[in-house]
A = this chain, B = another copy of it.
């Protein structure tokens, strides 16, 4: 008999993760705000649920992949939230990119309810999720991490442990998104300057992506920014802006002056202000810099 897992959040990332779990043999109790998204999954391997509480009923694990801190908090503590039904000793595997203090707060609430919260934000775009190539960062109690690992391994290329403090994985996730955004800004600045000197920005991007900056971020986003091709959208400016806001919040909370974070936040805010919230975040940086430079 298949093990049943609760699953909440069929966004761009949640959907391929849910499919990986189904492929690995799990049965899912699925809740999603937009119900029609559930139809994309193999219906013989899922049970449709009308609320987070229903998805969390009688399971040992519930996974959430949600857009932000507020939605996750509501999903946990709302009138029809997870905490209403999640069994004793069950584990909430939380994959959303949220602030570490939200993670700590939710972990406390789960503890009071007799179950556990595991921070497990992931790195990777939807195609990486589909290919089970996510990097999953975890932090929390040792036995909780141990219990959740087999599930996380169904959708990850690697599960990396950042210790017992529950918010640590979220700090790493936010740091990483900050570094991705900084990489896009620096490529946009460098390639636009090169272009204005008459150097082919595609050749420059290819050179750096194959040499000093021979890493996935610089190859994929480097090509998009060099070619000024920002479609299809993989990750929206709106979500990028949420991350940039989290970075500023963490900068303030920890009293770490981060001048790059201010520029990144501003860059995304310009694109939001122009109503392009749905544009790929690479466009916010790439087009932001070329627009400023008049090309």
Contacts and interface: CB of A to CB of B under 8 A. Distances in A.
Contacts of A77: none
A3 to B, nearest CB: 29
A100 B179 CA distance: 30
A115 interface: no
B204 A255 contact: no
Contacts of A218: 215
Interface stretch (A4-12, A60-68, A161-169): A161-169
Interface in A183-197: 183, 185-187, 189-194, 196-197
Contacts of A207: 135, 137, 160, 172
In the assembly, how many copies of this chain are there? Answer: 2
A175 to B, nearest CB: 4
A214 interface: yes
A166 B39 CA distance: 59
A251 B168 CA distance: 38
A263 B255 contact: no
A236 B58 CA distance: 62
A220 to B, nearest CB: 10
Interface residues on A, range: 35 or more
A180 B182 CA distance: 12
Interface string A272-295: 000000000000000001001110
B168 A197 contact: yes
Contact of A189 (B171, B178, B208): B178
B254 A196 contact: yes
Given A196-B254, A199-B162, A263-B263, A190 B211 contact: no
Counting chain B CB atoms within 10 Å of each CB, the highest count among A123, A167, A172, A214 belongs to A172
- By secondary structure, the A interface counts as helix
A158 interface: yes
A150 interface: no
A71 interface: no
Nearest to A247: B193
The 6 lowest CB-CB distance pairs between A and B, nearest first, are A196-B254, A215-B215, A182-B186, A175-B190, A193-B256, A189-B258
8 contacts: A162-B203, A163-B199, A168-B198, A168-B199, A175-B194, A179-B213, A197-B254, A215-B218
